[in-house]
Structure 1
Amino acid sequence: MSLPTIRLDALLTGRAQPFTRPGSRSAIDKQPQHGQLTVTTLGLSGDEQGDLRVHGGVEKAIHHYPREHYAAWAAELGAHPLLAQPGAFGENFSSSGWTEHDVCLGDRIRVGTALLEISQGRMPCWKLSDRFGVAELALRVQQSGRTGWYYRVLEEGVVSAGDNLQLVERQFADWLLTRLSAVLFDKRVESELLRECLALPLAPSWRRTLERRLEKGLVEDWAPRLQGRSAAE
């Protein structure tokens, strides 16, 4: 088990508000918070989500996005104002030192007095494209692998910026998030690999997705998520 202890550089929350498309709402505009915040099974106190069908909940209680990805995005997009500070990608946790190449599904992380578990990577949606004003940014995030990840909360507690993030248990060392996301975002259907993934403790939504692929022998349409079929998406 090898993962360095790192510092939580910024702790961010946001309130749901009207978004870019008629009828849409989002809390993607996260702002840094100072002092302790309570962590419950549904996430950080004061944090909201605009569409609870696809965001938030126990499997997506906290979103973590690596700060080092900002340099890569700045190189691709130019000096975008959103990249000047943490929160551009709607993250709750901002840090340097861990990326999707370092953490595994099921890693258990102690931060403050809370115990978290990595539940899944992010499946980017059209709201990222609208937030940045960059067409197909959500697809580019998906293709880049720079998605960040979500935690479920195993033990509630309190957390604040400046706390350490420490790996306390690793159960699935063969399943870096980069490997798992490569399966999820592959247009090919490889039955044996899907069965191997389905033996993992996947979040229910990921499990349903991979079960359907195995049953139907084809990959679902990503357009509703990446482009938005309607204001409710």
Structure 2
Amino acid sequence: MKIISTNLGDKREIDWKGKKVTTGIFKFPVDDSIFLDVETVKEDTICDRNYHGGIDQAVYGYSLKHYDFWKEKYPNLDWSYGMFGENLTIDDLDETKIHVGDTYKVGECIVEVTKPRQPCMKLGVRFNNMKVVKQFWNTTMSGIYFKILQIGNVKAGDVFEQLKSCPENPTIAEVYETKK
């Protein structure tokens, strides 16, 4: 696995059907490395700490391979990496093969797989279509949250080197399917 893009977002207030919505889901690629801290990605905006950030959700990764599936469903969107609110767009992140507890060295960091992302209405805001939330739930393409065991910088091109495998634990896809 390799990082294709590092993505950051700013706080954005938008009008969604007559209601003000504050979100940090609008993330876009950056050229520089990003710093993965214990509870968050430095210089990235998190607006709802109940569901994003924290020890077990410090950084969110999403697979580049999933983009083709979604581009077919939403061909008219202005596509860029970070569309799913991910900080790391990773070339081949496979939720059906990665287990809770698997640990990797990437860039200066050591990261541990913790859980899948559960979509909220802000994904629908990002896509300008609430149907995507249900469609997201009906796949195993959830993306993965990581805990940061060793803080540091990562950048596009950095490779994930597996340090620990936990095949006795459920895969991210298995965890995700139990939460539907």
Q: TM-score, normalising length from structure 2?
A: 0.91
Counterpart of 2:77?
A: 81
Q: Which amino acid aligns with 1:54?
A: Y
Q: Does 1:47 pair with 2:44?
A: yes
Task: Please state whether the residue corresponding to 2:160 is helix, strand or coil.
Answer: strand
Counterpart of 1:193?
A: none
Partners of 1:75 and 1:23 in 2: CA distance:
30
Q: Does 1:146 pair with 2:137?
A: no
Task: Please state whether the residue corresponding to 1:181 is helix, strand or coil.
Answer: helix
Pairwise CA distance, 1:174: 4.5
Flag structure 2 segments of 5+ consecutive residues without an equivalent.
none
Counterpart of 2:63?
A: 66
Asked if structure 1 preserves the Cα contact closer than 8 Å seen for 2:36 and 2:59, the reply is no
Aligned-residue identity in percent: 22
Higher helix share: 1
Alignment of 1:29-44 (within 5 A): 29-44=26-41
Task: Please state whether the residue corresponding to 2:149 is helix, strand or coil.
Answer: strand
Give a deviation string over 1:85-115, Cα, whole Å, max 9, x none: 2111111010212221121111111111111
Task: Please state whether the residue corresponding to 2:97 is helix, strand or coil.
Answer: coil
Task: Please state whether the residue corresponding to 1:144 is helix, strand or coil.
Answer: coil
Q: Which amino acid aligns with 2:157?
A: G
Counterpart of 2:155?
A: 160
Partners of 2:91 and 2:35 in 1: CA distance:
23
Asked if structure 2 preserves the Cα contact closer than 8 Å seen for 1:20 and 1:130, the reply is no
Higher strand share: 2
Q: Which amino acid aligns with 1:181?
A: Y
Q: TM-score, normalising length from structure 1?
A: 0.72
Higher relative contact order (CA 8 A, sep 6+): 2
Counterpart of 1:133?
A: 128
* Residues 41 and 71 of structure 1, relative CA distance in 2, 3 Å threshold: same
Q: Does 1:176 pair with 2:167?
A: no
Counterpart of 1:24?
A: 21
Give a deviation string over 1:108-167, Cα, whole Å, max 9, x none: 111111111111100100111122122321111011121111111111111111111121
Partners of 2:35 and 2:177 in 1: CA distance:
34
Q: Does 1:110 pair with 2:105?
A: yes
Give a deviation string over 1:179-231, Cα, whole Å, max 9, x none: 1111121xxxxxxxxxxxxxxxxxxxxxxxxxxxxxxxxxxxxxxxxxxxxxx
Asked if structure 1 preserves the Cα contact closer than 8 Å seen for 2:101 and 2:169, the reply is no
Q: Does 1:56 pair with 2:53?
A: yes
Pairwise CA distance, 1:176: 1.2
Counterpart of 1:200?
A: none
Flag structure 1 segments of 5+ consecutive residues without an equivalent.
1-5, 186-233
User: Whose radius of gyration is greater, 1 or 2?
Assistant: 1
